[in-house]
Amino acid sequence: MFKPHEFAPKIGVSVKTLQRWDAAGKLPAKRTLSGHRFYTEDDLLIAQGLKPIEEKRKVIVYCRVSSSGQKPELKNQVIAMETFCLNRGLAVDDWVSEIGGGLNFKRKKFLSIMMSMLKGEISTIVVAHKDRMCRFAFEFIQELATSVGCEIVVANQESLSPQQELVEDLMAIIHCFSCRLYGLRNYSKEIKDHLKKTIDNPTQSMKKFDKKEIQC
C-alpha cells in the first residue's frame, strides 16, 4: 500500500492531482478506518494504463451490537476488524457500525447494505461473526449475496459475539411464542364456548356466531 505522497511520484503527478482524481472518481483512493487515503498495486497498474478501470464495487465492514450499553464492545469490534482487514489486505471503502438486535431485520443500516448489495454495488461484506449480520437466516442472505456476485467474509471472532446478546435474543423468541400460544389458548376457549352454546341452543347461537368476527 502507498500513501499519497509515495504514490504520486510513481505515476508522475502531484498529490493535489491525486486529490482531484479521487474527488472526480477518476482514480479513487482507498481509505483506512481513520479516513487516511492510500493506494495499491492495482491502482498503480491502472494509472500506468496496464490495467483497465473496473466498475467500482465497495468493500463494506459491518459491525453490530444489540444495545447502547455495549458501545465499548462495538468499539473493540471495529478495531479488531480493522486489524483483520489489514492482515487480509482488504481495502475497505465503508465502515458501518450499528446498534440493534440480531433478530431485527428492519435495522436501517443493515437494510441499506442489503439494498446496495442487491443492486450489485458491493463486492465484499466483512463481519466479525455471522451473527453480527443476523441471528438467523444467515445462509439465506449468503445465498442472495452469491447470486449478485457479492462475497460475505466472516472473521469468526467468537470473542466479539457476546453471550449476553444470545441470551437476550433467546428470551425475545420465547416471549414471542408465549404470546402466540396465549392468543391461541384464548381463541380456543372462545370456540369451545360457542360450541357449547350451539349445542344448548343451536338456532340462536348460530345467528350470533355468524354476526361475530373472531380474530386470532
Active-site residue, selected from the candidate residues 14, 34, 66, 178: 66
Which H or E element spans position 160?
A: none
Topology of 57-161 in CATH?
Rossmann fold (3.40.50)
Task: Tell me whether residue 66 is one of the annotated catalytic residues.
Answer: yes
Check: CATH 1.10.1660.10 for 1-55?
A: yes
**Tens of pLDDT along the chain (216 residues)?**
899 999 999 999 999 999 999 888 788 888 877 778 899 888 888 888 877 666 678 999 999 998 888 899 999 999 999 999 988 888 898 999 999 988 889 999 999 999 999 988 899 999 998 889 988 889 999 999 999 999 999 998 655 555 555 665 566 556 555 666 655 555 556 655 665 665 566 555 444 444 444 333
pTM of the predicted model as reported, rounded to 2 decimal places: 0.57
Which H or E element spans position 63?
A: strand 58-65
CA-nearest of 158, 168, 93 to 126 is 93
CA distances from 143 to 15, 34, 100, 137, 150 (A): 42, 32, 23, 10, 9
